[in-house]
Amino acid sequence: MDRREALGWLSAGGLGLLSPAARAAQETSTAATRGLPPLKITDIKTILTAPNRIRLVIVKVMTSEPGLYGIGCATFTQRARVVQTALDQYLKPFLIGRDVDQIEDIWQSSYVSSYWRNGPVLFNAMSGVDMALWDIKGKRASMPLYQLLGGKCRFGAALYAHVNGRSIKEVEDNARAAMAKGYRHVRVQIAIPGLSTYGTQVADANQPARHEMSSPTEPKEIWEPGPYLRTVPRLFEHLRTTLGEEVEMLHDVHERITPAQAVSLCKELERYHPFFIEDPLPPEEKDHFHLIRQHSTVPIAMGELFNSQQEYLPLIAGRLIDFIRIHISQIGGLSPARKVAALCEFFGVKTAWHGPGDASPVAHAAQLALELASPNFGIHEGYVFPAVTRDVFPGTPEVKNGYLYAHEAPGLGIDIDEKLAAKYPVCDDPPFDFRWGMTRRRDGTVIRP
């Protein structure tokens, strides 16, 4: 925060110094929650909607108190229908009748309810229920969720802006545009001519269209690491020289290079002091993070593909990463995420939860509640939802001057307009996007991801 914002926040009571009227309202609402009878889960509804053409899966948990419900994010956008089935056919009958206050017990029993555990389908389904139960608990307490998690450590969550371009100059121009909007952190990605480069939304005119390619020796999306590895240090050198020292720069490798290449890239970027370098290696090669640590001081962010604690625990406990990038619904929701955040605190790891457009506004609201209350918050992935999505999700957290702000309503502070959501059905033709699993080397070898 800058000094002026910090002072304004403090004078407005940001550290819990409530006005007399606000204190009286809080005391009344707290008293009202005492002695309430237990509530049961009466129904669980799965809502699929795609207001921004991104398949979102939202869970609504109804309770035995008329009008009281919670919502959660269960978005596994690549396989939305499978999560819907897991919820409607399996978790819903398993959980109806359970006590809504027993969030942890519901999580633990759901975790073993199909015997085989972990995985994006079960965990996303569980996440939808888990976030909804925290939403309900906050509403019962008449408190924003961050209060139940310990209260505010900061007034808002700093965001990073997604910045890309077809040339170094275009990246610079787009970074300046983001900085003019108040962003102090920019994730910079550059298209490599002739190659399908992660993180750039600009098509290369020389790249054949997908339908024009059929032979295994003419892969549909070609990627080669060499030109990329030679371009990114030049991008950083240019941006650090032209943008100055105030802005923080981030970059996502997206796992496409070998361990030796990752070490080399991190060493080259070290002199530009990046905020973090993300996913230099895939989860399958997590044992090689020792190599990067031995050769470079570049802060490392890792983890959007993680599912189970067996994957992320060694990297955190081994002090091999600096930012945890977990996709909260992918590990089962807010309950496990708050434990990961607490674990990270004791190993010097900050949170940078995965938050592109396929983390719904509900997921961003849940992340924000945790970020406001976590001393080891690092950065929030900035995704500016279009007006149509914000209309479907009233209470979507506000972006202002490079920060994300919570609404002070009880619970997650966000809702879903089901009638409006129904106007944006998910597309089943095709039933999923074909982007993943299509990127290949020139000889046809598939690469991750």
Q: Which is nearer to Mg ion, 146 or 160 (CB)?
A: 160
CA distances from 149 to 124, 241, 265, 341, 352 (A): 21, 41, 38, 11, 18
CB of 198 to Mg ion, least distance (A): 8
The answer to whether 134 and 103 have CB atoms below 8 angstroms apart is: yes
User: Of the listed pieces 88-96, 219-227, 230-238, 249-257, which binds Mg ion according to CB under 5 A?
Assistant: 249-257
Q: Which is nearer to Mg ion, 62 or 186 (CB)?
A: 186
Q: In 357-408, which ranges are E strands? A: 380-381, 398-400, 403-405
The answer to whether 50 and 38 have CB atoms below 8 angstroms apart is: no
CB of 153 to Mg ion, least distance (A): 25
The answer to whether 312 and 306 have CB atoms below 8 angstroms apart is: yes
Closest CA to 131 of 145, 112, 147: 145
User: Of the listed pieces 153-161, 195-203, 244-252, 285-293, which binds Mg ion according to CB under 5 A?
Assistant: 244-252
The answer to whether the bond into 449 is cis (omega within 30° of 0) is: yes
- Of 162, 185, 251, 254, the active-site residue reads 254
- Of 69, 146, 160, 198, the active-site residue reads 198
Task: Map residue 315 onto helix, strand or coil.
Answer: helix
What DSSP line would sit under 349-361, residue for residue? -EE----STTS-H
Tell me how many residues contact Mg ion (CB under 5 A).
2
Determine if 381 is a binding residue for Mg ion (CB under 5 A): no
Q: Report the run of H or E that residue 159 belongs to, with start and end.
A: strand 157-165
User: Of the listed pieces 132-140, 193-201, 215-223, 246-254, which binds Mg ion according to CB under 5 A?
Assistant: 246-254
Q: Which is nearer to Mg ion, 135 or 278 (CB)?
A: 278
CB of 20 to Mg ion, least distance (A): 46
User: Of the listed pieces 27-35, 108-116, 252-260, 291-299, which binds Mg ion according to CB under 5 A?
Assistant: 252-260
- Does residue 254 carry a catalytic annotation? yes
Q: Which is nearer to Mg ion, 128 or 282 (CB)?
A: 282
Q: Match 């690092």 to its residue by tokens.
A: 378
Q: Under rule CB under 5 A, which residues in 69-108 are in contact with Mg ion?
A: none
State how far the Cα of 94 lies from the Cα of 14, in Å rounded to an integer: 41
Give φ, ψ of 162 to 5 degrees.
Answer: -80, 120
CB of 119 to Mg ion, least distance (A): 20
Determine if 252 is a binding residue for Mg ion (CB under 5 A): yes
Phi-psi region of 292 (alpha: psi -120 to 50; beta: other; left: phi over 0): alpha
The answer to whether 110 and 333 have CB atoms below 8 angstroms apart is: no
**Beta strands 185-190; 157-165: pairing state:** parallel
The answer to whether the bond into 430 is cis (omega within 30° of 0) is: yes
CB of 399 to Mg ion, least distance (A): 20
CB of 416 to Mg ion, least distance (A): 26
Q: Which is nearer to Mg ion, 278 or 415 (CB)?
A: 278
Q: Which is nearer to Mg ion, 106 or 326 (CB)?
A: 326
Q: Under rule CB under 5 A, which residues in 264-323 are in contact with Mg ion?
A: 304
- Does residue 198 carry a catalytic annotation? yes
CB of 278 to Mg ion, least distance (A): 5
Q: Which is nearer to Mg ion, 146 or 383 (CB)?
A: 383
Residue nearest to Mg ion (CB): 252
Q: Under rule CB under 5 A, which residues in 323-362 are in contact with Mg ion?
A: none
State how far the Cα of 304 lies from the Cα of 117, in Å rounded to an integer: 19
CB of 111 to Mg ion, least distance (A): 26
Torsion sign across C-alpha atoms 237, 238, 244, 249: negative
Q: Provide CB contacts within 8 A for 147, sequence distance 6+.
A: 138, 141
Q: Which is nearer to Mg ion, 130 or 252 (CB)?
A: 252
Closest CA to 409 of 15, 173, 145: 145
Residues that bind Mg ion in the complex, under the rule CB under 5 A? 252, 304
Residues classed as catalytic? 198, 254
